[in-house]
Amino acid sequence: MTTTNMGLDDSGMTIEPVDKASVEKVNLLGMSEDKLAAFFEGQGEKRFRVKQVMQWVHQRGVIDFDAMSDLSKALRAKLAELAEIKLPELVSEQVSEDGTRKWLVRVTAGSCIEMVFIPEGNRGTLCVSSQIGCALDCSFCATGKQGFNRDLSAAEIIGQLWIAAKSLDSLDPTKDRVISNVVLMGMGEPLLNFDNVVDAMNLMMHDCAYGLSKRRVTLSTAGVVPALDKLGDVTDVSLAISLHAPNDELRNQLVPLNRKYPIAELLRSAQGYLAKLPDKRRKITVEYTLMREINDRPEHARELAALLVDTPCKINLIPFNPFDQSDYQRVSNNALYRFRDILIEAGYTVTLRTTRGDDIDAACGQLAGQVNDRTKRSQRYRQQQDQGLEAVRIIPA
């Protein structure tokens, strides 16, 4: 029911009717502790309300203010009028034969994003998105071919964790945590959405929310250097850099952002991030997607080993996962193991990313979603396919 009020102000002027139903409510879902405290203080409430509401939402999965029983009835009524806990809309959930899960959620005007849960032994990793699409257009990533729409709000980022944790019964901090790790490696470049990503990560680590360790929340970046330079001033999460090439010439083609922020600048910034951390034992994860006859040769491995000699890091090798609109091919097992062995012999800790969820297009680099593309990039790629043209491919020297 719509309620309107009309009356006179002190000067005798008529006050225009106010349609309470049209007042936009404040979404409390993605608010940091400080922002939530400012909201409650603005309503004349004490700061302890922050802890109560955070625990109801993020640890008990309650989004109805009326069910928050330790809040007064008056406060519950006020919150129902002024605020909301608004989640992204769950569209679908797929489960792979290997236990990997992928969710498609709608966030705005028909656009959808994807997030993936990967179980492995006692470890469960949720890969979340930070943007609708991605503006960077890395040549080996399906997300980039969808174009770009906008940044996700902090509520839309943390809402992915809420939805997945609710689905997996992983909200209650007194139970064994199903989701033990969160990585911002889904759709989008996190450092291009700096403030919202930082707020969401801080909620992931907050004791009254999800309580994840700083070592178990990882931000992955292709190298937005100015944002990375200031990241260490506001958080100490784990850092991964998407390198994928041992020199600028090759990386310029794989990761176009490299033309603006070349490898030397990226490594300097990453080293600077580590220097700001109180724990001097921390390392960066270097992500390297291997594509057949593109960046998988022994000379590439030796060049990578020399490049990273001054950077405390471990290296994660990722076999390329094919998708439509790309003609790259998966690295051969022989080339993959040869590449790994060269790095190990050079003294690096090396892990191999196992392909998971391939049967539901949930493997690394395959997230596509449904993007209302403002860049028109997806339209150009579709036209290229319709005309029977080959996707742009790097020709090895």
Cα 250 off chain centre by: 26
**Paired sense of beta strands 123-127 and 111-120, if any:** antiparallel
251 in helix, strand or coil? helix
Nearest to 30 by CA among 146, 128, 176: 128
Catalytic residue positions, numbered = 114, 364
Sign of the CA dihedral 116, 120, 124, 127?
Answer: negative
Bridge partner residues of 111 (DSSP):
108
Contacts with 392 (C-beta within 8 Å, 6 or more apart), sequence order: 139
Joined together, the tokens standing for residue 247 give: 């020199």
Joined together, the tokens standing for residue 104 give: 């498609």
The single-letter code of the amino acid at 12 is G
The single-letter code of the amino acid at 255 is V
Nearest to 255 by CA among 231, 289, 305, 219: 289
Joined together, the tokens standing for residue 122 give: 């006692």
What's the alpha-carbon Rg for the chain, to the nearest Å?
23
Asked whether 283 and 240 are in contact (CB, 8 A), the reply is no
Asked whether 179 and 170 are in contact (CB, 8 A), the reply is yes
Other beta carbons within 10 Å of 383: 11
Angle, helices 298-307 vs 333-345, to 10°: value is: 30
Helix (H) or strand (E) holding 148: strand 148-151
Bridge partner residues of 150 (DSSP):
132
Using the CB atoms, write b or e for 346-361: b if 16+ within 10 Å.
Answer: bebebeebebbbbebb
* Locus of tokens 């309300």: 49
Q: HSE-up of 316 (CA within 13 Å, CB side)?
A: 17
Instruction: Tell me the residue length of the chain.
Output: 397
